Amino acid sequence: MSDTSNQYDIQNPLTQYPRPPFPRQPQPAPGLIGEMDPVPDHGETSYRGLGRMEGRKALITGGDSGIGRATAIAYAREGAAVAINYLDAESPDAQSLADLIEGEGGTLVRLPGDLTDEAFCEQLIADAVDQLGGLDAVVINAGKQVYTEDIQDLTTEQFDQTYKTNVYAMFWLSKAALPHLPPGGTIINTTSIQGYSPSPGLLDYASTKWAIIGFTKALAKQVIGDGIRVNAVAPGPFWTPLQPSGGQPQDKVEEFGSQVPYGRPGQPAEIAPMYVFLATQESGYTTGEVFGSTGGEPTA
């Protein structure tokens, strides 16, 4: 493996990070970073901020681990004050993130709670606005993924929870946040390669990710008149707790990432810069777009 602590020197992306096979590593959802082998890279030792988000105020759902955690680290190092939402069971991951960001002099507000509850989503936005002193970037990134091979085994309860977490929460958070966002404010949703090329065992999940693309494009057109932009990021396979904690069966975890042209999963550190770009004025002419980072798997 090449030097993974430096994202800025030119190197072969195929060998930059671990490749399968990986050990089987079952753990209960929502999953914790400490149970993962190899440990994911969230940019802890590598991400260099350039002051691109100085004075900005951002809320990131699912900010404790995975893609959200890498985004939180990047935003904080770019100078933003950051609030994260996560579930109570994920307190250890939120704590280690707070230790890192606060240890560097940054701001991390922790706002745990369950996004499947509309009243909680409204309260979360109110608390973020209150504790950050405003809000100008909302990263809607929390997600639920439970691999279920046969539609006959897919319960209404699971279908409902997946839609509540991935789609309804996006609607509730967007609706509550928009009145607070200034011109130049942004919403960034997280869809998936599954929204374009769905796996048969992810019927509920893949269809939520398709819905997120439609919602992003429609809302972008609705709110650009207020100077607010809405975009989405579409990850391919990324090495995060979502996958070994029920997102995939363990035999697929062993070969995770082998299905895309890179032959390996992405690491959260490799996608966080996309969330930075979409939050800053550098992407000012971009709205209603979906940016892919898929290890070479086409999104079209």
Is 205 designated active site? yes
- Give the shortest CB-225-to-ligand NAD separation in angstroms: 28
Contact between 177 and 189 under an 8 Å Cβ cutoff? The reply is no
- Of the residues 47, 205, 262, 275, only one is catalytic, namely 205
64 lines the binding site for Mg ion (CB under 5 A): yes
- Give the shortest CB-125-to-ligand NAD separation in angstroms: 14
Task: Give 210's DSSP letter.
Answer: H
Three-state DSSP state, 1: coil
Give the per-residue SS3 of 212-272.
HHHHHHHHHHHHHHHCCEEEEEEECCECCCCHHHHHCCHHHHHCCCCCCCCCCCECHHHCH
Beta strands 108-110 and 81-85: pairing type?
parallel
Closer residue to ligand NAD in complex, CB, 80/242: 242
Closer residue to Mg ion in complex, CB, 62/185: 62
237 binds, among Mg ion, ligand NAD, none (CB under 5 to 8 A by kind): ligand NAD
- Give the shortest CB-91-to-Mg ion separation in angstroms: 10
143 binds, among ligand NAD, Mg ion, none (CB under 5 to 8 A by kind): ligand NAD
- Give the shortest CB-259-to-ligand NAD separation in angstroms: 11
- Spatial strand order in the sheet of 290-293: 108-110, 81-85, 57-61, 137-140, 186-190, 229-235, 290-293
Closer residue to ligand NAD in complex, CB, 184/203: 203
The DSSP bridge partners found for residue 109 are 83
Q: What amino acid occupies position 243?
A: Q
Q: Is the dihedral of CA 282, 52, 171, 32 positive or negative?
A: positive
Closer residue to ligand NAD in complex, CB, 7/145: 145
Please give the size of the binding site for Mg ion, defined by CB under 5 A: 3
Closer residue to Mg ion in complex, CB, 208/243: 243
Contact between 231 and 286 under an 8 Å Cβ cutoff? The reply is yes
CB neighbours of 100 closer than 8 A, spacing ≥ 6?
A: 44, 73
189 binds, among Mg ion, ligand NAD, none (CB under 5 to 8 A by kind): none
Structure tokens at 31: 């999953």
- Give the shortest CB-241-to-Mg ion separation in angstroms: 5
90 lines the binding site for Mg ion (CB under 5 A): yes
Binding stretches for ligand NAD (CB under 6 A): 30-31, 61-62, 64-68, 85-87, 90, 114-116, 141-145, 165, 190, 192, 235, 237-238, 240-243
- Give the shortest CB-182-to-ligand NAD separation in angstroms: 26
Distance of CA 230 to the CA centre of its chain: 15
Closer residue to Mg ion in complex, CB, 143/257: 143
115 binds, among Mg ion, ligand NAD, none (CB under 5 to 8 A by kind): ligand NAD
- Please give the positions annotated as active site: 205
* Binding region for Mg ion (CB under 5 A): 64-65, 90
